[in-house]
Amino acid sequence: MVEPDVAQALRTGPFSLALDVAIEASGMTLERLSARLRDREVRLSRATLSYWRSGRSRPERGASLAALPVLEDLLGVPQGALSALLRGRGGAQPWAHRPAGSGSRRQLWPARPALLAQMNAPPDGQLEFLAVDDVFVVGEAGRSLRVRLVVRALCDGVGRAVVFHQANHGMTTPPQWQALAQCRLGRVRAEGRVSVAELVLDQRLSAGELTLLEYEVHFGVSDEEDSDFYYRTFTRRCRLWTCRVVFTGRVPSRVFRYRQRRLDDSHRESAELWLGGGQAAVAVMENVSPGVVGVHWDA
């Protein structure tokens, strides 16, 4: 049975993203996939598979196109599903480059394929994040997050974005989402510690178009009161990330920014931040690589 997020990517494309999600769901490395293709007398190098997966190139020659049915069989997707994404209306080929050095939603977020299927979530990689501005308010009456995103569409017809929040503990009540600028709130789903919200753009974007999205999330006091950090995950490079943490109640003694590759990574790069007179600390990072960035503080 095809996993919901794989099925969704196969329905909407582009080819590179559908292949990426299917390979990831298979659990095979590119080396293993290339070896299994050789066992079936199909020669596709690891480099070729990597280029297809990242969007740097695509199957165009006869031998490459002939290899697709075997590739589909090994990945457990319906015959012709990947090939169909190379054909568009009037011969157009709807594929988009995925930014170099990108990661995947699966690697950086908890695997919630059923939750994403309920949302009919668009495939990861339709939007490029140029700038992300977070304002996280820590108060005695609760906590809130205000987010401003500057994004660029990487393919035509982008009309939605899916945003996540993972609570540090189990949620007694789901967070309250509010769309503020250039979008409206669509479906919201929660499962365990994860809440997912759909932002419906005011206007569909064509490839290369930019827009600004702004939304806010409010959390219950009991859900986040014990946490001493805020973090954000990036599945692809971001030119600029700014994070302002405002303490309206008790002020911590020290505040730090940090960076790590994954949520469960024991290695963490950290640097102390200045806590200003406005009871706020600001972290600014340029050219953020895929991974986790955040701010933590001492009580």
- Determine the pLDDT at residue 215: 98
Q: How confident is the model at residue 25 (pLDDT cuts 50, 70, 90)?
A: confident
How much of the chain exceeds pLDDT 70, in percent?
81
Q: How far apart are CA 31 and CA 36, in angstroms?
A: 9
- Determine the pLDDT at residue 96: 40
- Determine the pLDDT at residue 123: 67
**Domains identified in the chain and CATH numbers:** 4-91 (1.10.260), 105-298 (2.60.40)
- Determine the pLDDT at residue 113: 56
Residue 64 burial by Cβ neighbours in a 10 Å radius (0-12, 13-18, 19+): middle
Q: How confident is the model at residue 277 (pLDDT cuts 50, 70, 90)?
A: confident
pLDDT (average), residues 268-294: 91
User: Is 202:123 a contact under the CB 8 Å cutoff?
Assistant: no
Q: Of 47, 68, 44, which is closest to residue 56 (Cα–Cα)?
A: 47
Q: Of 239, 225, 214, 229, which is closest to residue 146 (Cα–Cα)?
A: 214
Q: How confident is the model at residue 112 (pLDDT cuts 50, 70, 90)?
A: low
Q: How far apart are CA 122 and CA 21, in angstroms?
A: 12
What b/e readout covers 259-289, taking b as 16+ CB neighbours within 10 angstroms?
bbbeeeeeeeeeeebebeeeebbbbebeebe
Question: Which stretches of the chain are DSSP H helices?
Answer: 4-12, 15-26, 30-39, 46-54, 62-75, 81-84, 105-108, 113-119, 221-224
> What digits encode the pLDDT tens for the residues 243-254?
999 999 889 999
Question: Does residue 99 surpass a pLDDT of 50?
Answer: no
DSSP one-letter code for 275: B
pLDDT (average), residues 175-195: 90
Question: Does residue 162 surpass a pLDDT of 80?
Answer: yes
CA angle 291, 295, 299 (to 5 degrees): 145
- Determine the pLDDT at residue 94: 37
Question: Does residue 258 surpass a pLDDT of 80?
Answer: yes
Other residues' Cβ atoms within 10 Å of the Cβ of residue 166: 16
**Most confident listed range (42-46, 132-136, 196-200):** 132-136
Question: Does residue 109 surpass a pLDDT of 60?
Answer: no
CA angle 219, 123, 161 (to 5 degrees): 40
Question: Does residue 5 surpass a pLDDT of 90?
Answer: no
Pairing of strands 291-298, 280-288: unpaired
DSSP one-letter code for 199: E
Q: Which residue has the higher pLDDT, 48 or 299?
A: 48
User: Is 269:258 a contact under the CB 8 Å cutoff?
Assistant: yes
Q: Which residue has the higher pLDDT, 183 or 233?
A: 183
